[in-house]
Structure 1
């Protein structure tokens, strides 16, 4: 992608950084980051900049993009600098993290990721490759050994998959014995142990003579702490580049927009040291699992519901969607009746205040987070968000009406019933399962057919939900309601059913007391 400079300004560099101070930059790298997208650059990089400012250390970051060259080209042209634009209704403020020592594209330098993981100077590998980047089966959560990328990586040569790169890098590193930490920063339950299981499975699939030393090293010298990350980071737009140039006084072709809120909870289990990330506000906790539940279900699960309902009703952005009374009512109902009761709140967290903050964040009109971006890759994202809270209610003989509405709205966006137009914002959502789901929808006569084929046959949301006919039936009913009567009718039906179901046990208990 060509870099276009604003003729009124000079390019952002370490000698020309406009109105915002630029750090000198670290001398050496101690972190390799896989996934050089906006989220990493507005989250881990910002925390690392704060850590180095407070405590120093060789914690520079080598950033690795999987295939996209745009950010790599822009950062290389700017002395590895870029700005973070923190956006709120009160205005935009800028900062320049300046912590990267190098960036490259793995597809262009296929052996370099493995060599970097094996390098003893690298002590931490962090990941933001999205839920879709772990090559795990949606039905089982285990490594998908039928995935063509995994099959190729097991055969040898330069690995293409993230898990293949990690496993081959650890295999090569075992010779030096230098300990390593692999820190997943993606929205996966127990993302540390999950990543370790996938890497271990890959190594176990190798011939014993090839994988034995790496497996022993994995167990003795590689740690996989869990972490929970939280910050809304939309896509960069041309309008943002123009605004940043005006505020900065230098042209930045790779600025990152982000909301003011940021949170990072990390399990303190590092095999070779770590930066002082707490200087940036990170929380080191033994309750990362609780933070994960809170974020993945309350924020992410509800965010998905807002995105799919909003897109179906013609809302381009999340703020446009959540301001609508019906959609906001659905969001509040799924939180109150289905998500919040399913979590254990971390110590010291005021859950009512956390939920209040969620609606302020979703309503940040200045940020303009698009429904199509939030709704993208729902086949993988929803697999992490909905099964456990849905199964909790189903096991109690109750129906998760709002979670079923989330799935029905997702299916209506990605693979609508014939004759139903979900609109342009749903059409803009990207999803690896879209082709399979469209084939399902094309042969379906009813919503029940779509629900049965996608949830039970394709096991899109795991094996356990695939065996729950009550849930599948409810999703099918709501797909039909959306197609025939519209989104408002589906919302009203779901919210009323959820509130009636919650009230019924209370009424029964009161009757028992009176008796």
Structure 2
């Protein structure tokens, strides 16, 4: 007769769990898997090396599941580092408390205003910043922003930050750092601008003091985070329970690779994150470019093409010869030429590691997960490198293929079945794309209406008819001849263009 093991808690013998920090110095918004396998791990290493009151209060946006499980497990959980060689476990043990923002919005504001909290970190995804992708400014039509400006318990992340800053300015005035860890270009200045714009919309009697405090005492360093962290599965729970000898309801799977580049601009001190391998750099923008384009941009291509070919996981997709060929082509010809490599980074080695990471069959990252929210993700990844190619007189065929793959997954032409993994992708733009796709007679119509009319990828790409036409042609190729044919078309055209360009360069 089998018995279910007891849940992981701090009292279990044989499980190495460090004592909780005495106090929290960090409030984290976005208590998902990524934070728990990334910032929490770095913070655990920092406290082990250098001490400090850097415990983390974790704030989930809406879901109770992780909060309830963390409370039941004395705020501990395991991180399972997974590779083909096996699985190893670590237990960060740095969270002092956790709660749900949607249930206790004023507690978020109180936490930000607490002078004991010196850093607010964020992993709320690109969707969590309530800004207009076409302008980069605060989306004042967002219902959550409208409600937060009226008062009451703030629902949006920007509203929570702004109201917390407002209360902190009126109370202690203690300095504060807000550290975005999301995939947004210049995420520090971007977050500060949105908070400032929110405060500027308040009546002078409410916003003036907070605005002055924001400029004098709140820093917004930029950062780049990188680690592949899939969703937790029942199979992982079973494996971790077997390894620990106790039941962990919320283990986090993660790849061995991890990177964190941070601008060293902290208004009230910081943990010794470098003890965990973090890099403090004045070139965070270059790290952002490298990661968002080379890793994330290519990841999107792999996910959409893989899903359309029936690949459930990224390793299954990238090990298919035609998809690997497309991935290597977009890296070499369209993304790498668009970036400035950070000092000390061996770009050839970085790209080699990318394929090892994507090919990690033990991790099993899903194409559906990577492809979800593409309308927001691609807006961060493709416009600038595409525009750089177009301005050089070159067509970015593989970036066009990425967009064609996205549209074929999210807005399939009538009669075209993109498959179950594409259908499972979630995207806020799906509702707007559905009527376009249902009425379209060609891929060109879908591309024109989504890229030019909806400006799904920004105003500048919306004004590039050659690029839009190329996307439309590739959508038609996918529907008519299949994904492999579209890949061959794109890669062959790219190779032809490279040879033609080389022949034009004087010897």
Report the TM-score when normalising by structure 2.
0.99
Q: Distance in 2 between matches of 1:80 and 1:12?
A: 10
Aligned with 2:254 (options 240, 258, 265) = 258
RMSD of aligned residue pairs (Cα, Å): 0.9
Whether the 8 Å contact between 1:17 and 1:250 is mirrored in structure 2 is no
Q: Which runs of 5+ in 1 are unaligned?
A: 1-5
Task: Note the 1:43-442 alignment, pairs <5 A.
Answer: 43-175=38-170, 176-442=172-438
Map Cα deviations across residues 166-219 of structure 1 (whole Å, 9 max, x no partner): 011001111221000000000011000000111111111111221111111100
Q: Distance in 2 between matches of 1:168 and 1:17?
A: 43
Counterparts of 1:403 and 1:486 in 2: how far apart (Å)?
18
CA drift at 1:29? 0.2
Aligned structure 1 segments of 4 or more residues deviating by more than 4 angstroms: none
Q: Could you state the TM-score of these two structures normalised by the residue count of structure 1?
A: 0.97
User: Is residue 477 of structure 2 the alignment partner of residue 481 of structure 1?
Assistant: yes
User: After the TM superposition, which of the residue ranges 121-130 and 451-460 deviates more from structure 2?
Assistant: 451-460
| Distance in 2, Cα, partners of 1:230 & 1:145 | 31
Q: CA deviation at 1:287?
A: 0.4
| 1:328-363 deviation digits (Å, cap 9, x = unpaired) | 000000000000000000000000000000000000
> Quick check: 90-99 or 498-507, which moved more?
498-507
Unaligned runs of 5+ in 2: none
Distance, in Å, in 1 between the alignment partners of 2:501 and 2:226 is 35
Three-state SS of the structure 2 residue aligned to 1:250 is: coil
Separation (CA, whole Å) in 1 of partners of 2:480 and 2:137: 38
Residue 3 of structure 1 is matched in structure 2 by none
Tell me, yes or no, if the aligned pair for 1:81 and 1:98 is still in contact at 8 Å.
yes
Note if 1:502 corresponds to 2:498: yes
Match for residue 22 of structure 2 among 22, 27, 46:
27
Given the superposition, is the C-alpha separation of residues 451 and 17 from structure 1 closer, same or farther in structure 2, using an over 3 Å criterion? farther
Q: What secondary structure, in the 3-state scheme, does the structure 2 residue paired with 1:30 have?
A: strand
Structure 1, 431-440 or 231-240: larger mean CA deviation: 431-440
What do residues 444-489 of structure 1 show as CA deviations (whole Å, max 9, x unaligned)? 1111111111111111111111111111111111111111110000
CA distance in 1, matches of 2:150, 2:454: 28
3-state DSSP of counterpart to 1:432: coil
- Preserved contact between residue 17 and residue 248 of structure 1 (Cα < 8 Å): no
Question: C-alpha separation between the residues in 1 aligned to 2:137 and 2:490?
Answer: 33
- Alpha-carbon offset, residue 17 of structure 1: 5.7
How far apart, CA to CA, are the structure 1 residues paired with 2:212 and 2:13? 48
1:7 CA displacement: 3.0
Bigger mean CA deviation after superposition, 6-15 or 36-45: 6-15
Shift of 1:227: 0.2
Whole-angstrom CA distance in 2 between matches of 1:286 and 1:185: 16
User: In 2 relative to 1, CA 487–134 (structure 1 residues): closer, same or farther, beyond 3 Å?
Assistant: same
Partner secondary structure for residue 80 of structure 2? strand
- Contact (CA 8 Å) 1:126, 1:183: kept in 2 or not? yes
Distance 1:238 1:196 in 2: 39
Tell me the alpha carbon deviations over residues 18-51 of structure 1, each in whole angstroms, 9 at most, x when there is no partner: 5x41111111000000000000000000000000
1:17–1:249 CA contact under 8 A, matched in 2: no
**1:421 CA displacement:** 0.2
**CA positional deviation for 1:141:** 1.5
Deviations 1:83-110 (A, max 9, x none): 0000000000001000000000011112
Q: Contact 1:10–1:16 (CA<8 Å) still a contact in 2?
A: no
In the alignment, the residues of structure 1 paired with residue 151 and residue 265 of structure 2 have an alpha-carbon distance, to the nearest angstrom, of 31
- Provide, for residues 57-80 of structure 1, a one-character-per-residue CA deviation record: whole Å limited to 9, x for no partner: 000000000001110010000000
> Helix, strand or coil for the counterpart of 1:418?
coil
Q: For 1:181, what is the secondary structure of its paired residue?
A: strand
Deviations 1:143-185 (A, max 9, x none): 1111111111111111100000001100111122100000000
Say which SS state the counterpart of residue 251 (structure 1) adopts.
coil
- CA shift, 1:8, in A, is 3.7
Q: Distance in 1 between matches of 2:313 and 2:159?
A: 36
Q: Distance in 2 between matches of 1:240 and 1:374?
A: 19
SS at match of 1:94: strand
Offset of 1:9 from its aligned partner?
A: 1.6
Aligned to 1:232, the other structure's residue is in SS state coil
